[in-house]
Structure 1
Amino acid sequence: MYPNAYIEYLLHFHTDRDYFECHEILEEHWKNDEKKQVWVALIQIAVALYHHRRGNVLGAKRMMQKAIALVEQEKEAIEQLGLDYAELLPLLKRYIEQIDKGERYESICLPIADETLMQTCQTICKQRRLVWGNKSDLDNEFLLHKHALRDRSDVLAARKEKKKKGMPNS
């Protein structure tokens, strides 16, 4: 019923809190799904949390504001993804208030309204020995700074190959 990329996004968002991976997974899906804006909204939520956790308060606030604007525009699509729009919007607005008050990063859970979706996620968690609702590991440097620390050799090699062939980078 739901795309695998979305399930994987939810799993990373709620277990290991790998927001960078959330971004990567949904960005790839977005490119292949008519670039629907609902995916951008979910990506922006993850990116906002990634920024806030790293101490980039301005980036976090700006990204969360963009996410809120898209969530408001994409109410029907949000609900079709099994999320509770009536809970999600206030949750995101409260998060901006926390940022404005100078409060530290705090893990959040997206309000899932579809029980079947929640059961699917819980089943996968059990199979993979993951814990749903885990708090973010603030001592995990790789998780905190993944954008700078990840291995990008495959991306760089692909760009080099395209350049050889005279193709533009994507």
Structure 2
Amino acid sequence: MNYPSTYIDYLIEFHTTRDYFECHELLEEYWKEHPQDGLGKLWVMCIQVAVGQYHERRENRRGANRMYQSALAALQQETSERIGLDPTQLAVMLKQRIEACEKQAAYEDMLLPFLDKELLELCKKEAAARGLSWGQESASVPDFIIHRHTLRDRSDVIAARQAALKAKARDRK
């Protein structure tokens, strides 16, 4: 199957840099730009897995648990075989992460279960070409990646929210 380059980038980030925030950004943008590709539920599921890993690594187990449960529910509606992942193994992994969150167990990086071995080899080859190590552990990930969402500039979002609140207050008068 011919996979979108953005999905390849997602898989590489997920398994090398462990920049789960970037994984979310990559696939969310692609998903929104390609609503007719028929894979929207799967892209959202992948986003949720990355966000679950992001939250769990930051010890936000409640947020991680919600994301993993949502990803599992999406996986039960749509088969991940269409994007080269093993649905049975992925479901088992998500259930394990849900249980780990509920038990307050230590965080573990996930390695997504590839069904399409050609996709896996393509990702590993591309990662190596970029100088990245496949399967890198989060222990070597810098703090600015682990806490990335807290460091981004959100001034435009805050300004837009304040403007909307002022407009709403004016409309009430």
Q: Which category describes the TM-score, using the shorter chain as reference length?
A: 0.7 to 0.9
Matched, 1:142 2:111: no
1:139 Cα deviation from its structure 2 partner? 6.1
Residue in structure 2 matched with residue 29 of structure 1 by the alignment: 30
Matched, 1:83 2:79: no
1:88 Cα deviation from its structure 2 partner? 0.7
Unaligned segments of structure 1, at least 5 residues: 164-170
3-state SS of paired residue (2:24): helix
Provide the rounded CA distance (Å) in 2 between the counterparts of 1:125 and 1:144: 20
Contact 1:138 1:144 in 2 (8 A): no
Residue in structure 2 matched with residue 103 of structure 1 by the alignment: 105
Residue in structure 2 matched with residue 94 of structure 1 by the alignment: 96
Contact 2:24 2:50 in 1 (8 A): yes
1:137 Cα deviation from its structure 2 partner? 3.1
1:138 Cα deviation from its structure 2 partner? 6.1
> What is the alpha-carbon root mean square deviation over aligned residues?
1.9
1:14 Cα deviation from its structure 2 partner? 0.3
Distance 1:41-1:54 versus aligned 2 partners, 3 A rule: same
Provide the rounded CA distance (Å) in 1 between the counterparts of 2:82 and 2:70: 20
TM-score by length of 1: 0.85
Contact 2:18 2:141 in 1 (8 A): no
Distance 1:138-1:98 versus aligned 2 partners, 3 A rule: farther
CA deviation vs aligned residue, 1:125-150 (integer Å, no higher than 9, x gap):
11111111111136622111101113
Contact 1:44 1:63 in 2 (8 A): yes
TM-score by length of 2: 0.84
Provide the rounded CA distance (Å) in 1 between the counterparts of 2:92 and 2:138: 22
Contact 1:83 1:114 in 2 (8 A): yes
Residue in structure 2 matched with residue 69 of structure 1 by the alignment: 73
Matched, 1:11 2:20: no
1:47 Cα deviation from its structure 2 partner? 0.4
1:152 Cα deviation from its structure 2 partner? 5.4
Identity %: 46
Contact 1:14 1:134 in 2 (8 A): yes
Unaligned segments of structure 2, at least 5 residues: 164-173
Residue in structure 2 matched with residue 121 of structure 1 by the alignment: 123
Query: Is the radius of gyration larger for structure 1 or structure 2?
Result: 2
Distance 1:17-1:34 versus aligned 2 partners, 3 A rule: same
Residue in structure 2 matched with residue 167 of structure 1 by the alignment: none
Provide the rounded CA distance (Å) in 2 between the counterparts of 1:19 and 1:126: 19
Choose 6-15 or 92-101, whichever is displaced more: 92-101
Match of 1:52 among 32, 49, 56: 56
Contact 1:13 1:19 in 2 (8 A): yes
CA deviation vs aligned residue, 1:48-74 (integer Å, no higher than 9, x gap):
110111111111111111111001111
